Structure formats: structure tokens, C-alpha cells
């Protein structure tokens, strides 16, 4: 039995979703417009869908798992489980008002009409903030609503903000930060659950590899205790003697976000000849 995954057919999620599966070692044949295809080296069936439909297909078990934006997951309110945050297709969902409008806080929205394609996400927010506003649901081109006079404000996805500016709008409240999520049907069978775990294991290995660097450096022996303490690595660093008396080579793994700080400290401790190498897969 295959694991069935729903991914976006085309759009902002598609490329990174396919890339993630490829990096996890899954070969996807070029589908010439097919909506269903099978991986050649993993029991995985891919369903290519509109992102709006993915939460429902996963909730109904037509797909076992899916890759979809958090914004759609929250909007659709389906019974699905979030199994992993994926870190791509990042955007925010914001409230925006005409740029010349005086804005002093959320109370502005009392009694106002807000245009959006995400009525549920907006409704949750307004309720939580106890704001009574009218939600005007429209399918698209939300940002023109204030100009044509069909709403006072809008609630929509923003990434750079340039669409807002070119429509004479100003972002005034960030309601939600969204990214792509891997979601799953909550009632997967045993086999499906096993395959999902195998897939997540691979995704995790890719993620760790991308967020860590392998580093090699030469260090004077008398500084080794301090250097080793600073570089715990996976278990502990590898230390090999150099041909030159009194020096050793140290090999270890460092998280990308601590990288520059560690390099500075290592230099101060007398480390030399520091090499930094990308990691392809990392399994702890």
C-alpha cells in the first residue's frame, strides 16, 4: 500500500514541495500534466491539487498527508494533524487600510467592513480581540476593494508588501505568520503511519544537514580542552594529531546559526586553517 501525498499542482508551494521530496531521495517521474503519479523508488503516490482543496482531501483520507500553507489549514478548519513545519512559502496575513486613513489601533475596525478571502481566519482574530466588524468575503483581488468602495479595509496575504503599496494601502496589523506545513489524516493505518515516519525521518535528516556545517581546523594542543568544550559536535569532535609536533586537527559539526560566533571564538583560541564544508544528509 502506498502513502498518498497531496501537493499543490502549480503555484507558490509546488516547487519547494517537489524539491523537499527529491532531497529526501524520492524520484518523481516528470508528470506531463498528470494529476496523479507514483514515485519510482518509494511507495508514494502524488496527487497534484489546488492548495485550497488539500486540507479537505487529507481530512477525508483521499490523501494520507499533504503539504499546504498554514493560512489554508486555519481557514479550512478541517480535522487534520500538523506533523511538521516546513519553513518555506513564508508569508504573513495582515490587515491593511487606505494609506491616508488615520489609524491608532485595532479599535479602528469597529463597525468597518473588511474584504478578505480568509473569512474564518479573520473571524477568529476579530473574536479574540473583541472587535465587531463586518467580513466581506470575496474570491480574489481583495486589495482593490477599498479603492472601488466595497470595503473600508482588507485582510490578506502579504509577502513583500508591494501589492499593498501599489494599491494605496498600508499594512497596519500582522495577524498571523504562515509557512508550509506537512499535514496528515488523524486516522492513518499502521502501514501509512510507518511510511510517514520514514518520510519524516528523511526530511529531518535533510533539514539537519541544511542547518549544520562540517568544520575542520588545526589547533595548538594546549588549547584543545577549551576548543573541544566549545564544539560538542554530534557526540564529540574527532581529534587527530598533525605531523607537526604540538598541533592537532579537529573535525566537528556546528549549527549554522552559531557559526560566525564560534569561528571568532576559535580564532581567538589559536585555531588556524579552518575549513567549512556543507553536509548532504545528517542522521544523529
Binding site for ligand ATP (CB under 6 A): 8, 11-13, 50-52, 69, 71-72, 89, 91, 157, 159, 178
Residue 75 beta carbon to ligand ATP: minimum distance, rounded to whole angstroms = 9
User: Rule CB under 5 A: which of 45-74 touch Zn ion?
Assistant: 51-52
Report the residue number, 64 or 156, with the smaller CB distance to ligand ATP: 156
Report the residue number, 13 or 266, with the smaller CB distance to ligand ATP: 13
Q: Phi and psi at residue 283, in whole multiples of 5°?
A: -125, 120
Q: Count of residues binding Zn ion (CB under 5 A)?
A: 2
CA 253 to each of CA 18, 212, 258: distance values in angstroms, whole numbers, following the listed order = 28, 6, 11
Task: State the first-to-last Cα distance of the chain, in angstroms, to the nearest integer.
Answer: 29
Distance CA(147)–CA(155), nearest Å, equals 14
Report the residue number, 140 or 246, with the smaller CB distance to Zn ion: 140
Residue 228 beta carbon to Zn ion: minimum distance, rounded to whole angstroms = 51
Residue 161 beta carbon to ligand ATP: minimum distance, rounded to whole angstroms = 10
Residue 104 beta carbon to Zn ion: minimum distance, rounded to whole angstroms = 34
Report the residue number, 65 or 188, with the smaller CB distance to ligand ATP: 65
Q: Is 128 left (phi over 0), alpha (psi -120 to 50) or beta?
A: alpha
DSSP secondary structure letter of residue 39: -
CB under 5 to 8 A by kind: which of ligand ATP, Zn ion, none does 71 bind? ligand ATP
Report the residue number, 13 or 151, with the smaller CB distance to ligand ATP: 13
CB under 5 to 8 A by kind: which of Zn ion, ligand ATP, none does 72 bind? ligand ATP
DSSP secondary structure letter of residue 9: S
Cβ 72 vs Cβ 7: under 8 Å:
no
Cβ 155 vs Cβ 109: under 8 Å:
no
Residue 8 beta carbon to Zn ion: minimum distance, rounded to whole angstroms = 8
The helix/strand/coil state of 227 is helix
Cβ 155 vs Cβ 122: under 8 Å:
yes
Contact residues for Zn ion, defined by CB under 5 A: 51-52
Amino acid at each position: 500500500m502506498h502513502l498518498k501525498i497531496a501537493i499543490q499542482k502549480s503555484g507558490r508551494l509546488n516547487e519547494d514541495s517537489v524539491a523537499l521530496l527529491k532531497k529526501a531521495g524520492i524520484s518523481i517521474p516528470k508528470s506531463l500534466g498528470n494529476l496523479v503519479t507514483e514515485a519510482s523508488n518509494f511507495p508514494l503516490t502524488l496527487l497534484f491539487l489546488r492548495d485550497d482543496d488539500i486540507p479537505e482531501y487529507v481530512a477525508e483520507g483521499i490523501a494520507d498527508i499533504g503539504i499546504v500553507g498554514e493560512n489554508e489549514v486555519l481557514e479550512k478548519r478541517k480535522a487534520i494533524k500538523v506533523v511538521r513545519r516546513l519553513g518555506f512559502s513564508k508569508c504573513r496575513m495582515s490587515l491593511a487600510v487606505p494609506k491616508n486613513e488615520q489609524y491608532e489601533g485595532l479599535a479602528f475596525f469597529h463597525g468597518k467592513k473588511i474584504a478578505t478571502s480568509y473569512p474564518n481566519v479573520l473571524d477568529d482574530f476579530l473574536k479574540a480581540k473583541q472587535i465587531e466588524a463586518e467580513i466581506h468575503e470575496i474570491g480574489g483581488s481583495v486589495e482593490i476593494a477599498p479603492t472601488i468602495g466595497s470595503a473600508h479595509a482588507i485582510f490578506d496575504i502579504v509577502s513583500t508588501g508591494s501589492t499593498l503599496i501599489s494599491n494605496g494601502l498600508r499594512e497596519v496589523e500582522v495577524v498571523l505568520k504562515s509557512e508550509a506545513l506537512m499535514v496528515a489524516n488523524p486516522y492513518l493505518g499502521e502501514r501509512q503511519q510507518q511510511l510517514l515516519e520514514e518520510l519524516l525521518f528523511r526530511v529531518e535528516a535533510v533539514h539537519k544537514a541544511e542547518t549544520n556545517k562540517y568544520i575542520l581546523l588545526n589547533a595548538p594542543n594546549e588549547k584543545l580542552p577549551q576548543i573541544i568544550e566549545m564544539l560538542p559536535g554530534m557526540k564529540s569532535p574527532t581529534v587527530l594529531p598533525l605531523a607537526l609536533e604540538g598541533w592537532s586537527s579537529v573535525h566537528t559539526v556546528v549549527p549554522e546559526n552559531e557559526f560566525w560566533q564560534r569561528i571568532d571564538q576559535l580564532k581567538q583560541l589559536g585555531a588556524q586553517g579552518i575549513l567549512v564544508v556543507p553536509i548532504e544528509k545528517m542522521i544523529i
